[in-house]
Structure 1
Amino acid sequence: MSKINKKKSKTNEGKKNITSKWIAGIVIGLFLIGMVVLVLRQQKNTSDSTISDTSTVSLDKSLGNENAPVVVVEYGDYQCPACGRFASTEKPKLVEEFVKTGKVRFVFRSFQFIGEESFWAAEAAECANEQGKYWEYYEKLYSSQEGENIGTFGKVNLEKFANELGLQTKQFNECLASGKFSDKVKAETLEAQNLGLRGTPSLIVNGELVDEGNQYEILREKILELLSSMD
């Protein structure tokens, strides 16, 4: 091969290498752009899901006007002391000021993570709900807190609570023994985890997590802010 042909061959190879590098760079660039777009879409979908899941929740285990402009969702654990305080001190204020006036719908959802008795209590509350006594049982559970996983919410006591509240005990006991609401309790707990909630009580107001929402003044301020923006 002549020197001229060798030079042409090297030149062509150089051009091919440059072209290959450009193509590789473009492919990598497009891949990175695609990954960024995917992440942004996932973040948006997560945000949209949070709002949807908490502002259009079913009327199951709720208090107040179904068309109320503000929806407050509590994710709670029946063994959680802070949830017990919220139930006895903050929730009554919320009900009196906003639920009874038709401005707020209050919804409870399970976020049971403290232990097995939390799940049993949640299933028992669902069985009470089946007989139209959910909120009475909710109050009974929180007012009966004594400690975590020490038998307070063992099945014997859960059945006793039902009897004290005047539920049809045979129906309640069969419901609890069957575990028919186990999947529902687990699904609500998983929902809380998917929303990124880390503790209880977690309060979400029209799709927005309210930090320190178990302090009534902070919760009240958020509700008033939302109501004012709707005028």
Structure 2
Amino acid sequence: MTRGDLMPPTTARSPRRPLLLAAVAATVVVLVGGATALLVGAPGQGGSPLTAPPTAKTPSASAIPELSRRNANDQRALGKVDAPVVLIEWSDYRCPFCGVFARDTQPALVREYVDKGLLRIEWHDMPVFGDQSIDAAVAGRAAAAQGRFWQFHEKVYDVAPSRGHADLSRERLLDLARQAGVPDMAAFEATLDDVAVRADVQREQQEGYALGITGTPTFLIGSTPLVGAQPVDVFRDAIDQQLKAGT
């Protein structure tokens, strides 16, 4: 198991954290060797894979906080804004198992659910592997500003190693943006240096920590949390259950 390199804030408090953390604890299924695991405690401080305490119970759907954005202009989302199920993803561009999901699982979910109007996918930055992860998240937002987020996302994960963390230097990010068809590279590069965009990435990261997320990839499918690069059938089952619950 690999853990993030950045420390979550010790002062973070959120009424939503116990709910999501308890839900993950009660329902998480970790694919052995295929996940950067959600951990108890701060990254880099030891800890063990998250397990439910004996008295933990899975909260009802109504107890899970509503975290979806459902913004029609959201460039970091795929699918209809009013799709019946939203899959929220917390990922890091340097996480190898996030790459597994992006390459092997997401395309199938897009074909089978997103394109049919049944599912919406919303990306959240969770840069846990150092400064290059934050830089890459900023670059993703720079691409999104020019309507090329998902193209950039695809290019980054296409070159991700199966083990270890990608080297996403500034030069590499610029090259990947060109490959993704970002039209205004001067504006893209200017955004890389925009302190407000970087602060927004870090704000989203801290929100993830406040929810108890310290590993990537982590997902919330309706009211069902999942951790790791699970087989596509695990995602299908969770989506189908949410669709059935909504009928």
Q: TM-score, normalised by structure 1?
A: 0.74
Equivalent of residue 185 in structure 2, options 150, 165, 169? 169
Against the structure 1 CA distance between its residues 148 and 117, is the aligned structure 2 distance closer, same or farther, given a 3 Å change threshold? Answer: farther
Whether contact under 8 Å (1:112, 1:189) holds in the other structure is yes
Q: In the alignment, which residue of structure 2 is the partner of 1:25?
A: none
Q: In the alignment, which residue of structure 2 is the partner of 1:182?
A: 198
Please report the RMSD computed on the Cα atoms of aligned residues, expressed in angstroms.
2.3
1:65 and 2:80 matched: yes
Against the structure 1 CA distance between its residues 229 and 178, is the aligned structure 2 distance closer, same or farther, given a 3 Å change threshold? Answer: closer
Q: In the alignment, which residue of structure 1 is the partner of 2:246?
A: 230
| SS of equivalent residue, structure 1 residue 112 | coil
Q: Give the paired residue count.
A: 188
1:202 and 2:218 matched: yes
Question: CA separation in 1, counterparts of 2:165 and 2:240?
Answer: 38
CA positional deviation for 1:207: 3.7
Amino acid at match of 2:241: E
- Write out aligned runs for 1:128-167 (5 A): 128-146=143-161, 152-167=167-182
Question: Which structure shows the bigger proportion of residues in helix conformation?
Answer: 1
Whether contact under 8 Å (2:96, 2:164) holds in the other structure is no
CA positional deviation for 1:204: 0.4
Q: In the alignment, which residue of structure 2 is the partner of 1:125?
A: 140
Q: 1:132-185: CA deviations, max 9, x gaps?
A: 0000011111112247567x2111111121222232111111111233410111
Structure 1: runs of 5+ lacking an equivalent: 1-41
Whether contact under 8 Å (2:141, 2:149) holds in the other structure is yes
Q: TM-score, normalised by structure 2?
A: 0.69
56-65 or 122-131, larger mean C-alpha shift: 56-65
Sequence identity, in percent?
A: 28
Q: In the alignment, which residue of structure 1 is the partner of 2:66?
A: 52
CA positional deviation for 1:214: 2.9
Amino acid at match of 1:52: E
CA positional deviation for 1:198: 2.9
Question: CA separation in 2, counterparts of 1:68 and 1:80?
Answer: 28
Answer 1 or 2: higher relative contact order, Cα 8 Å, separation at least 6.
2
Question: CA separation in 2, counterparts of 1:49 and 1:182?
Answer: 32
1:115 and 2:130 matched: yes
Whether contact under 8 Å (1:127, 1:172) holds in the other structure is yes
Question: CA separation in 2, counterparts of 1:206 and 1:178?
Answer: 33
